[in-house]
Amino acid sequence: AQTVTQSQPEMSVQEAETVTLSCTYDTSESDYYLFWYKQPPSRQMILVIRQEAYKQQNATENRFSVNFQKAAKSFSLKISDSQLGDAAMYFCAYRSRVGFQKLVFGTGTRLLVSP
Amino acid sequence: GAGVSQSPSNKVTEKGKDVELRCDPISGHTALYWYRQSLGQGLEFLIYFQGNSAPDKSGLPSDRFSAERTGGSVSTLTIQRTQQEDSAVYLCASSLEGTGDFNNEQFFGPGTRLTVL
């Protein structure tokens, strides 16, 4: 079974600064997908960024980018130019490419953003 | 509607009572998922529906939990004889299909916060 680990329960960053959230995972599969979701106080999960395991190139979405290290099974999220609206819980998730598509989540990192 | 909706938003119940939680997926989405988010935990998969196929119930924690999906659309998660450890946020998600396509994104609803006293 696949597992996802987020070792940082809480991180803090100042506005306009950069922060990196860590995620490691364990799997025996070679082809899979990785995701970062944001969960604001409204509880609704919002997809931030996604990565296909067979792609070497790291995904980027505006201020959000990932550092995907397949051999190390590491998938960190970098948020540049942090904004107050980035404050939320961030969850790393894994999805197999075969079979039905349940997501396996880590326990989350709470991001605090200060002015 | 434009997104996944869930009702009620919050539910407080007494231990031993039965509860029903409802999920309305995005119109046209054939795949529907239920997840549970306990305090301080990530989301835990509960059950998956894909079209008219038999649901995958591998994540249901006990036989007190059941779910159905009527007409391939609305889904109801039922918890019988609720226990305090059932207190959690129950999230529903839907996707266009249940396939492995990279772009087959799961869209989440706002969840139902269940509190069992």
**B11-67 tens-digit pLDDT:** 999 999 999 999 999 998 989 999 999 987 789 999 999 888 889 999 999 999 999
Tell me the pLDDT of chain A averaged across its residues.
94
CATH number for the domain whose boundaries are A3-114 = 2.60.40.10
> With an 8 Å Cβ cutoff, are A96 and B40 in contact?
no
Which CATH class name applies to B1-8+29-95? Answer: mainly beta
- Kindly report whether the peptide bond that precedes residue A41 is cis, defined as omega within 30 degrees of 0: no
Helix (H) or strand (E) holding B115, with range, is strand B112-116
- Taking only Cα atoms into account, the Rg of chain A, rounded to an integer number of angstroms, comes to 14
pLDDT tens readout for residues A41-85: 888 899 999 999 988 899 999 999 999 999 999 999 999 999 999
Distance from CA of A45 to the nearest CA of B (A): 6
* B96–A contact, CB cutoff 8 A: no
**Position B98 confidence tier, pLDDT thresholds 50, 70, 90:** low
**Position A99 confidence tier, pLDDT thresholds 50, 70, 90:** confident
Domain boundaries, chain B: 1-8+29-95
Domain boundaries, chain A: 3-114
Q: Give the CA angle between residues A56, A62, A66 to the nearest 5°.
A: 35
Q: B102 to chain A: which residues are within 8 Å by CB?
A: 33, 50, 52
Q: What's the one-letter identity of residue A95?
A: R
Res. B102: pLDDT tops 70 = no
By the 10 Å C-beta count (0-12 exposed, 13-18 middle, 19+ buried), A38 is classed as: buried
Interface test with chain A among B32, B108, B113, B114, by most A beta carbons within 10 Å: B108
Tell me the pLDDT of chain B averaged across its residues.
91
Size of interface A-B (CB pairs under 8 A): 61
